[in-house]
Structure formats: structure tokens, C-alpha cells
Amino acid sequence: MKPVTSFLAVAVLFTSHAALAADAVGIRKLLAPAPERGSDLSVLVWYPAAEGGEPTLIGDNLLFKGTAARADAPFAEGHFPLVMISHGSGGNAANLGWLASHLAAEGYVVAAPNHPGSTSGDAAQAATIKIWNRPADISAVLAALAADPALSSRIDQDRIGVVGFSLGGHTALALAGARIDADTYARYCESGAAGPECAWFVRGGVNLRALDAARFNRSNRDPRIKAAVVVDPAFAQAYDRKSLSAMWVPTHIINLGRPGWIIPAVEGSKLARAIPGAGFEVVPDATHFSFLGECKPGADAILKDEGDEDPLCDDGGTRPRSKLHAQMAEMIAAVFRKHF
């Protein structure tokens, strides 16, 4: 793992970005046609902004703090690289506004769709296992952005990257050329090493021995993607090794948690070793859920009252989530600075 900038310096940098977000970052919504789904996708787009627009909080709710931006602000002058973000299973685009606004303040256009069937308020096992839909969503959004004159004129089509978290991590890897194998995944879930996600699929009535292998195993590589950052990638035990060794897109994998304590389903070090030139880092005092938005006081009690078993607001050490976000945002931004 390479050295990380001092936590204090990164925290100060991130705080300055957050303080300036309402002035420096615009936000707008769009609908993107998704041919594979036969419907439109709801997409949030963050971008470097000029003066104007309505101050707003993105993703603010009973559980999570929102992030500041200015709705429908004019674009700043310039031609900017584009970063696509893919949320995790049960997550949503707005909840990752802490990262999107950081990148936009640095000079990126950032677009994130909600993935139907595996997003907040619309998540089910039978839909989530159709993993081919998610990279197709990102490709559809790229087409929609290119077809929108106001947005395409601000985007450098030769500098497009992707960030994905958890199931979105698989999405990012798939767009960069990685493939997974249905039979390998079923055998993993039948083994003693199976993670909790296997049982979740079974509880939802998914027969892992009856997956649509042709679509589950297919390549979803999108040649427009020129760099990928992958955080806690789902299906880590089921990737086709030949597809990993053939990847040419610069790829950086981040795991959240102490080595040896990361669940096999998302452990990325072996994947990084299999991908030519891939980088790998860990945030040892984080947990899988540290990538979610910053929780509000009392959020834990609300989750427990609702019977949610996942510790969405728990982190792995003494640092608050805001400082973990500062470190992660800087790690991710550094990858795109290097390649773009």
C-alpha cells in the first residue's frame, strides 16, 4: 500500500472543498433512455459551476446528511473530464454526493444514475442478480450525455472514468473489461467460504444454478472508459482470470477495512494482482459501509427500529466518517489526476 497524505492535510483539503461546494458545484437532473431496460434512468450530474442556480442539499434525509450544490447553475467555462459513479446494492446516486461534489470542485463533470431494481426503495434479489443491466446503464448514460448539446459541449470524450462501490465496483470492473462466471459464483455460494450476500439471494428466491449464464458471463466492456476506480468490488470470488489479465484500462482497487478482516465477497488484492498494472490500497479503519453518506445523529436508532440488520452508520476506528470520506475522496481524485 502506498503512503497516504497526512490525515490532517487531507481533512483540511476536503473541508475546504465542502465549504466551497455551494459556490463551485452545480447539480442538474436528467432522464437517460436505457434500451436494455426499456425505460429511462434517473441521473444526477454534478459539474464545475459559474455563478447562479439555487442552493440545495443533495441526498439529505432522516438518515444521511446532504451535500451542498447549486441546482441548474450555469457551467463554468471549460472542457472537463467525465467521471461516472455506480452506487452499491440498495444505495443511490445522491448518497454519494460527498464524492461527486469533491470531484466536481476539482474540475470534473460527474454523472451517477440510480440503478432500477438495486437502488434505495427499489431493490430486490431477482433484479439485483441481473448484473448485466448495471454496466448497460452506465453505457446508456454516456450515450445520453453525448447526445445532450449543453452537456456534451462541456465534456472531454477522451477522458472518461468510472468509480464503483460494492455492486457498483463490479459495474466499474465490467465496464473496464472484467467478466464473471455464473458457475464459479454458484460454487462459491455453495462453499464454506460463502458470504452473507449468497444467503440474501437465496432468501429472495434466486436459484444460483439457474442464472442466465449467457448474459451473466458476457463482456460489458465499454471502450469509452479510460480509467476505473473500484471500491470493495462485489463478486470478487467469481471473476474470469483470463478477462482480468486482458484488461488494458488503468484500474485502481480500494478495500475498506483491515487486511484479513475483509469479507471474501469484496476482497480486492487478488484481483489487483491479476490485472496488469492495477493499483491497490486499503483504508484500514473503515468498514464496507463507510463509503455511504455521513449519518445524522440518531440514524442508528432509526435503523434499529426499522429492523435493518446492516450497520450502515458504523465505522471501523476512531475517525469520524467525514475524515474517512476526506481520505477516500483524495485517493480517488489522485487516480484520475494521474490518468487525466
Q: Once rounded to an integer, what is the mean pLDDT over residues 12-26?
A: 58
Convert the pLDDT of each residue in 199-221 to its tens digit: 999 999 999 999 999 999 999 99
Whether residue 317 lies inside any domain: the answer is yes
Which three cell numbers, joined as nine digits, stand for 30?
A: 436528467
pLDDT above 50 (res 256): yes
51 or 14, higher pLDDT: 51
Q: Sorting pLDDT into bands at 50, 70 and 90, what band is 195?
A: confident
Q: Sorting pLDDT into bands at 50, 70 and 90, what band is 194?
A: confident
Convert the pLDDT of each residue in 47-96 to its tens digit: 999 999 999 999 999 999 999 999 999 999 999 999 999 999 999 999 99
Whether residue 304 lies inside any domain: the answer is yes
Report the pLDDT value the prediction gives residue 1, as an integer from 0 to 100.
Answer: 34
Report the pLDDT value the prediction gives residue 287, as an integer from 0 to 100.
Answer: 95
Whether residue 174 lies inside any domain: the answer is yes
Report the pLDDT value the prediction gives residue 22, as an integer from 0 to 100.
Answer: 54
Q: Once rounded to an integer, what is the mean pLDDT over residues 234-245?
A: 97
Report the pLDDT value the prediction gives residue 134, as an integer from 0 to 100.
Answer: 98
Convert the pLDDT of each residue in 102-142 to its tens digit: 999 999 999 999 999 999 999 999 999 999 999 999 999 99
pLDDT above 60 (res 10): no
The proportion of the chain whose per-residue pLDDT surpasses 90, expressed as a percent, equals 86
**Least confident among 17-31, 142-156, 222-236, 260-274:** 17-31
Q: Once rounded to an integer, what is the mean pLDDT over residues 182-186?
A: 96
Domain count of the fold of the chain: 1
Measured in residues, the chain has a length of 340
Gap between the Cα atoms of 233 and 268, Å rounded? 7
145 or 22, higher pLDDT: 145
Report the pLDDT value the prediction gives residue 70, as an integer from 0 to 100.
Answer: 97
Q: Sorting pLDDT into bands at 50, 70 and 90, what band is 15?
A: very low
The proportion of the chain whose per-residue pLDDT surpasses 70, expressed as a percent, equals 94
The domain spanning residue 289 has which CATH number?
3.40.50.1820
Report the pLDDT value the prediction gives residue 310, as an integer from 0 to 100.
Answer: 83
Convert the pLDDT of each residue in 274-333 to its tens digit: 999 999 999 999 999 999 999 999 998 998 888 777 899 999 888 999 999 999 999 999
Whether residue 2 lies inside any domain: the answer is no
Q: Provide the greatest CA pair distance for the chain.
A: 57
Convert the pLDDT of each residue in 167-177 to its tens digit: 999 999 999 99
Best CA proximity match to 82, nearest among 219, 178, 224, 222: 224
Task: Please give the residue range of the domain that contains residue 310.
Answer: 7-339
Which three cell numbers, joined as nine digits, stand for 12?
A: 483540511
Whether residue 250 lies inside any domain: the answer is yes
Whether residue 1 lies inside any domain: the answer is no
Whether residue 135 lies inside any domain: the answer is yes
Whether residue 159 lies inside any domain: the answer is yes
Report the pLDDT value the prediction gives residue 5, as an integer from 0 to 100.
Answer: 36
